[in-house]
């Protein structure tokens, strides 16, 4: 596992973004873990978060793109922090762009924040986590309606590795099949468990045998089934 991935997992736990316990998800599923990217609230946290995203984008897509698009609302600070990090770490200036929930009809009009989109722009979409792919359903048509852009891929912070709406493949794989662009994550839940199981993080064992059994049971029910 790359060192930045291990650091990112510990960073999520220390920031109380990734929590373990008993949670009811929006889907109605009972989960032993929960991720809330809204818990990144300080300047230091956002700076670090942007750097982790920048490294993952570089590893998966390189720097051959023009725009980083963050769907409203959580994608807005993600896109801003990460464009800053890409500039600082790699000396590459990419533009940030986000959408508004409603079209603005005065002043800076339109549905986009940040950079306007141009024909031929190569775009990477950035999100916190994708469980069902609903946000992509909403934002992909917006992107394509603004200009003839090429979506290079989607980057999220955590791949939950559970089945999407189709009940067979993960949400990230469903998006890839449906829209034809690559998908990636900074880390997967498999890597989270590998890093934290019976290992100290912040002076305590985060995933002990009991919690590991609960996570295994969850994936026996909702995890992606690997077929030969």
Compute CA distances 220 → 23, 80, 214, whole Å: 17, 37, 10
pLDDT at 102 over 80: no
For residue 153, the model assigns a pLDDT of: 96
High-pLDDT (> 70) share of the chain, %: 93
What are the catalytic residues? Answer: 104, 106
Sheet of 182-188, strands arranged across:
110-114, 95-104, 67-70, 122-126, 150-159, 182-188
The per-residue pLDDT for range 142-186, each reduced to its tens digit, is: 899 999 999 999 999 999 998 887 888 888 999 999 999 999 999
Q: For 19-32, what is the mean pLDDT?
A: 89
**What DSSP designation does 106 have?**
S
Q: In which residue are the tokens 């002076």 written? A: 203
Per-residue confidence (pLDDT) for residue 50, from 0 to 100: 98
pLDDT for position 13: 96
Residue 109: what pLDDT? Answer: 47
Q: What is the pTM of this model?
A: 0.92
Residue range 110-131: average pLDDT? 91
Rounded CA gap, 93 and 79, in Å?
A: 13
Judged against a pLDDT cut of 60, whether residue 226 lies above it is answered with: no
Q: What is the pLDDT of residues 46-89, one digit of tens each?
A: 999 999 999 999 999 999 999 999 998 889 999 999 999 999 99
Q: How far apart are CA 154 and CA 203, in angstroms?
A: 34
Element (H, E) at 182: strand 182-188
The DSSP bridge pattern shows strands 18-24 and 30-35 to be antiparallel
Query: How sure is the predictor about 104, in pLDDT bands with cuts at 50, 70 and 90?
Result: low
Taken in order 183, 130, 133, 81, the sign of the CA dihedral is negative
pLDDT band, very low/low/confident/very high, at 138 (cuts 50, 70, 90):
confident
């Amino acid at each position: 596992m790359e060192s930045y991935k291990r650091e990112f997992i510990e960073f999520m736990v220390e920031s109380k973004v990734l929590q373990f316990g008993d949670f009811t998800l929006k889907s109605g599923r009972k989960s032993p873990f929960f991720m809330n990217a809204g818990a990144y609230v300080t300047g230091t946290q956002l700076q670090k978060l942007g750097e982790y995203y920048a490294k993952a984008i570089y590893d998966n897509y390189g720097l051959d793109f023009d725009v980083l698009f963050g769907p409203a609302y959580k994608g807005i600070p993600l896109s801003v922090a990460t464009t800053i990090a890409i500039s600082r770490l790699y000396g590459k200036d990419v533009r940030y762009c986000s959408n508004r929930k409603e079209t603005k009809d005065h002043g800076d009009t339109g549905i986009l924040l940040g950079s306007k989109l141009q024909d031929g722009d190569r775009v990477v979409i950035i999100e916190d986590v994708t469980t069902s792919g609903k946000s992509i359903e909403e934002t992909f048509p917006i992107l394509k309606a603004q200009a003839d852009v090429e979506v290079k891929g989607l980057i999220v912070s955590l791949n939950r590795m559970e089945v999407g709406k189709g009940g067979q493949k993960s949400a990230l794989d469903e998006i890839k099949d449906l829209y034809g662009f690559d998908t990636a994550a900074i880390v997967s839940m498999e890597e989270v468990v590998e890093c934290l199981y019976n290992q100290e993080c912040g002076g305590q064992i985060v995933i002990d045998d009991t919690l590991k059994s609960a996570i295994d049971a969850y994936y026996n029910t909702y995890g992606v089934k690997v077929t030969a």
